[in-house]
Homo-oligomer: A and B are copies of this chain.
Amino acid sequence: MTALATERVSPGIGLVQRRYATWLEPLALDSGASLAPVTLAYETYGELNAARDNAVLLLHALSGDAHVAGRYSLTDARPGWWDDMVGPGRPFDTDRYFIICANVIGGCKGSTGPSSTNPVTGKPYGLSFPVITIGDMVRAQVRLIDRLEINRLLAVVGGSMGGFQALEWATAYPERVHGAILLATSARSSAQTVAWNAIGRRAIMSDPRWRGGDYYEHEPPVDGLATARMIGHITYLSEPALERKFGRAFQAGGGPAFTLAQEFAIESYLEYQGASFNARFDANSYLYITKAMDYWDLPARHGSLETAFARSQARFLVLSYSSDWLYPTSESRLIASALHRVGRPVAHLEIASTAGHDAFLVDIEQQSPIIEEFLARLAEENG
């Protein structure tokens, strides 16, 4: 009992530092435009081995950032977004692997994005930031992996939009990826995910405080971003999870107050989600990143999913989650089938979870040993 309790409060990765890498050479973008300078904010955990073949690149989702694990200071309220998964003895075992995560370009957590200074004007880019794609995000990450002098990544790993990037790595840079772990993701954005993103963007852009994206010296479009986040949040959760967590409870207890004001517990929860997202995220970044997601269509770019995977040299682990209705198991099955058809090694598992799309972040018990074993096998193959 005591041992278990101690294990549970183990400090994990402990204190970590955010790092920065900057390139002055322009980064060519899919749109034909280019971006310079380019900074990536990133974090690393564990040590790169002498053979430089134990590096695992974690790729974050829409609202994520480079801060996967640990705390910046002892007084930090919360650790990184996948802290349970990263650390000594954890699935991404920092005693064995060198873990890397970088904030995507277009983001707002240290990497170059619409809130960064446009060198031409000396002011924040706003909408003068170029429209980017998942391919562009990965092209910037390649620079970082080059700078870290890593030839081949032991694994690229991502959930949701992180999975898009992992797929891009495995197909566009086949010789540099030994294994790919895809969680709750898809080879292309569906019409429905495009629709949700489009409604969120419209909510932001119709907030008068958005000011055509030029709000950095004013109050930001908090209502629009809150609406976008609330929509997203409901799509990340399953109906049963919402029912169990909130049901029809009134925030103040008791019955209806017969008011148009917020009174259900689920409303307060959404309000909290909106406000806390506003405190940590830039509305323009939300526009650019969701647009990059909407463009994501791997089969269209290669003619077919099979063609996309034909050159890949990676071993794939595809995990989907039974109650995820945003990136349902059927999407993972399309990936796994295509890989199978072109003879790539792939395992697809559906994990039973009521946590919806967020399962890969919050319901880690079942995925952990599967990921551990997959990574161990990759490391073994390295010899």
Contacts and interface: CB of A to CB of B under 8 A. Distances in A.
A22 to B, nearest CB: 24
Given A31-B258, A227-B227, A248 B192 contact: no
Given A191-B246, A192-B239, A248-B189, A258 B131 contact: yes
Contacts of A245: 191
Given A227-B227, A294-B264, A270 B239 contact: no
Nearest to A294: B264
Nearest to A127: B260
B297 A258 contact: no
A287 interface: yes
Contacts of A231: 199, 231
A234 B270 contact: no
Contact of A270 (B195, B205, B207): B195
24 contacts: A130-B258, A131-B260, A133-B256, A189-B248, A191-B243, A191-B247, A191-B266, A192-B234, A192-B243, A194-B264, A194-B267, A195-B230, A195-B234, A196-B234, A198-B264, A198-B266, A199-B231, A203-B203, A206-B207, A208-B208, A248-B297, A248-B300, A256-B295, A260-B288
Contacts of A310: none
A75 interface: no
A325 interface: yes
Interface size class of A (residues with CB under 8 A): 35 or more
Nearest to A131: B258
A235 to B, nearest CB: 10
Contacts of A267: 194-195, 198
A73 interface: no
Contacts of A382: none
A195 B248 CA distance: 10
A239 B270 CA distance: 24
Contacts of A325: 325
Contact of A202 (B30, B208, B227, B247): B227
Given A188-B248, A256-B295, A227 B243 contact: no
A334 B207 CA distance: 41
B199 A242 contact: no
A176 interface: no
A231 to B, nearest CB: 6
Interface string A229-265: 0110010000100110111100000001011101010
A381 B251 CA distance: 47
A11 to B, nearest CB: 36
A194 B131 contact: no
